[in-house]
Amino acid sequence: MNLIDLFLLASSLWIIAMGVWMLWALTRILKCRG
Amino acid sequence: MEGLQTTVLIVAAVYLIGMLIIGYVTSSRIKTVDDFATAGRAAGGGLPVVAIAASLLATNNDTGNVLGIPEMTYGGGFGGLFWIVTVCLIVYLLMFVLGPRLRDSAASTLPDYVYRRYGNSTRVRVSVTLWSIVSAAIFLGTQLYAVAAVIQALFGIPWQYSLVPVAAVVIIYTAAGGLWAVAMTDILQWAVIIIGTALVIPLLFILKGPFSSVVLANQPAVGYASFSPGMPVLQLIGLSLGASLWVLADPALTQRFLSAQSNRAAKQGIWLWISAIYPWWILMAVIGMYARVVLPDITPAQSLVLMAGHVFPPVIAAIVFVAVLGAAQSTADSYLNVVSSMFVNDVYRPLHPGAREGHYITVARWATVVTGVLGVLVAPLFSQGIFVVALTLQMIFISAVVPVVVLGLLSPKVTEPAAFWASVAGGVVSVIWLSVGGTAGIGGVQAIYPAVGIALLIMLLFSWGKSGQAQKMEVGK
């Protein structure tokens, strides 16, 4: 494991977190204005 | 791949039904044309930050792009892509200036924006509407064909079988829910795509070992993981500008800014989009490089799909495949929606003013259906090299519309005659240049250089010394 591996893992985590947030936001939008 | 087919078909069916449900749920929100075209922005609605970020991702990345990045790095390593996306970033940063200004213009569509910006000029509106509708409609056809072609390449199902059902679903939910349906399906699709593809990297670390010991320690060619671009600088800049300039004035992308809840939401949406797309592009590039080392004898275009099949159980792999196929759908729906929005706002309403809102919504929905059916009918024409068609369109659009919109947003000094004649000349010169030299250009000079050059020259000459009578933008009218 060196710096570039850590960077790639951090990027993956960031993207996964963003995707999960998008799904959560979608359920909120559909729930309150559907 | 064959064993997966049934699973993929079942997941695809569930997925298409989910899209239709979103269309049905969002259709109840469509009470005015403003709801249809801008998600109800004028009435205090509009797209929230998450929808702006997701639909920028969706419109800017189609299936070709999603599969194309790992394909590129599989063969050529990291360098070329690195420099292309770096030049793109410089262009994208301009959006922080343009996006909020578009939002503040209170226009409903891109042609409506230029109409207001250039002193209620009908001829500029007509010119921009024509170029935008033609390029967006043909682009729609290329996207519909692309989904079917990828399904054929990956699963052996002839494109004729998948084209109609895939297009029908897109047409139905886009006609029903307008921009709301487009934006909500974009969020769902892109959440699945980015989660699915981002999971591939940590799983590869566990199954095969970290990037540094698997790829960097076993480079398949000299300089494979270096930052060397591997192509001449001019070619690199031309590729990057061709890939990024259209984004600044694309009718479907600018529609996101026009529809933003607020000026601030537009800016935050751009931030989120850039902070998602760059790390995600890097991950996609790395997937291609892993594929090269782990599976050295595959077709490069299948890198992503085979790596996903490698690390995931079949059901999860099927979900990732279907979402990636949906990337083209989420690009197609944006263009479908924006063509019908421009048609009702900038063609039909000016010709038939004073009708009830319900009438205009019906017209917008029928325009969606007719445009979609036309898209399906022209789609087979693109079976001869889809990339060239898309590239040709981008070049014409960049020449005819981008200078008029971008300079109009940046400087109050650009006058109406400057905008009109620049749009006409840019479009005509690019069409002539492309019909003589194709996308490769004449003597290696691509069409956007002379066409954008002439458009800029005309704008400069016509606007020169006229700053005293510069037209102020008519905000809120």
DSSP state letters, B412-455 = TT--HHHHHHHHHHHHHHHHHHHHHHTTT-BTTB-THHHHHHHH
* Contacts for B16-19: CB closer than 8 Å, 24+ residues apart: B16/B165, B16/B166, B16/B169, B18/B188, B19/B169, B19/B170, B19/B173, B19/B185, B19/B329
Name the DSSP class of B1. -
Report the range out of B71-80, B124-133, B137-146 with the highest average pLDDT: B124-133
What is the pLDDT, as a whole number, of residue B191? 93
- Nearest CA among B231, B215, B230 for reference residue B289: B215
Asked if B283 contacts B78 with a C-beta cutoff of 8 angstroms, the reply is no
Q: Do B192 and A19 lie within an 8 Å CB cutoff?
A: yes
User: CA nearest B29 in A: which residue?
Assistant: A34
Place of tokens 């039909």: B348
- Nearest CA among B91, B94, B113 for reference residue B104: B113
CA distance B378 to B258: 29
pLDDT digits (tens, 9 = 90+) for B9-63: 898 899 999 999 999 999 999 999 999 999 999 888 899 999 999 989 988 887 7
pLDDT digits (tens, 9 = 90+) for B182-203: 999 999 989 999 999 999 999 9
Which range has the worst mean pLDDT, B342-346, B352-356, B444-448, B456-460?
Answer: B444-448
Q: Do B283 and A12 lie within an 8 Å CB cutoff?
A: yes
Model pTM?
0.89
**Cβ pairs bridging A and B (under 8 Å):** 86
Nearest to B205 among A2, A9, A16 (CB): A9
Nearest to B279 among A1, A14, A20 (CB): A14
State the DSSP H helix or E strand holding residue B190, giving kind and residue range, or none if neither. Answer: helix B159-208
Judged against a pLDDT cut of 70, whether residue B1 lies above it is answered with no
Which range has the worst mean pLDDT, B79-88, B164-173, B272-281, B388-397?
Answer: B388-397
Asked if B103 contacts B266 with a C-beta cutoff of 8 angstroms, the reply is yes
Judged against a pLDDT cut of 60, whether residue B472 lies above it is answered with no
Residues B397-419 have a mean pLDDT of 92
Residues B322-351 have a mean pLDDT of 91
What is the pLDDT, as a whole number, of residue B335? 92
Within 8 A by CB and 6+ apart from B353, the residues are none
Nearest to A18 among B51, B194, B197 (CB): B194
- Reading the block at residue B457, the tokens are 């020259």
Instruction: Work out the angle at residue B301's Cα, subtended by the Cα atoms of residues B299 and B304, and round it to the nearest 5 degrees.
Output: 105
Judged against a pLDDT cut of 50, whether residue B456 lies above it is answered with yes
Q: Do B188 and A29 lie within an 8 Å CB cutoff?
A: no
- B281 — pLDDT class (breaks 50, 70, 90): very high
Question: What's the longest Cα–Cα distance across chain A?
Answer: 47
What are the strands, taking DSSP E only, across B83-233? none
The partner residues of B47 in beta bridges, in order of sequence, read B260
Q: Do A4 and B212 lie within an 8 Å CB cutoff?
A: yes
Which range has the worst mean pLDDT, A21-25, B234-238, B429-433, B446-450?
Answer: B234-238
Within 8 A by CB and 6+ apart from B466, the residues are B413, B415
Q: Which residues of A touch B211 (CB under 8 A)?
A: 4-5, 8
- Reading the block at residue B400, the tokens are 């005819």
Which range has the worst mean pLDDT, B3-7, B65-69, B377-381?
Answer: B3-7
Chosen for mutation from A22, A31, A33 (greatest number of chain B CBs closer than 10 Å) is A22
Judged against a pLDDT cut of 50, whether residue B474 lies above it is answered with no
Average pLDDT value over all residues in chain B: 88
Rg (Cα) of chain B, in Å, rounded?
22
- B65 — pLDDT class (breaks 50, 70, 90): confident
**% helix / strand / coil in chain B, to the nearest 5?**
80, 0, 20
The partner residues of B442 in beta bridges, in order of sequence, read B445
Chosen for mutation from B73, B195, B286 (greatest number of chain A CBs closer than 10 Å) is B195
Nearest to A29 among B48, B197, B282 (CB): B48
CA distance A10 to chain B (A): 9
Q: Do A16 and B199 lie within an 8 Å CB cutoff?
A: yes
Within 8 A by CB and 6+ apart from B21, the residues are none
Is the model more confident about B341 or about B326?
Answer: B341
Tell me whether A27 touches chain B (CB under 8 Å): no
CA distance B305 to B69: 12
Asked if B304 contacts B197 with a C-beta cutoff of 8 angstroms, the reply is yes
Name the DSSP class of B219. -
Is the model more confident about B351 or about B155?
Answer: B351
CA distance B297 to B291: 9
CA distance B280 to B60: 13
CA distance B124 to chain A (A): 37
| DSSP calls for B29-64 | T--SHHHHHHTTTTTT--B-HHHHHHHHHHHH--HH
Q: Do B184 and A5 lie within an 8 Å CB cutoff?
A: no
User: CA nearest B52 in A: which residue?
Assistant: A22
What is the pLDDT, as a whole number, of residue B225? 84
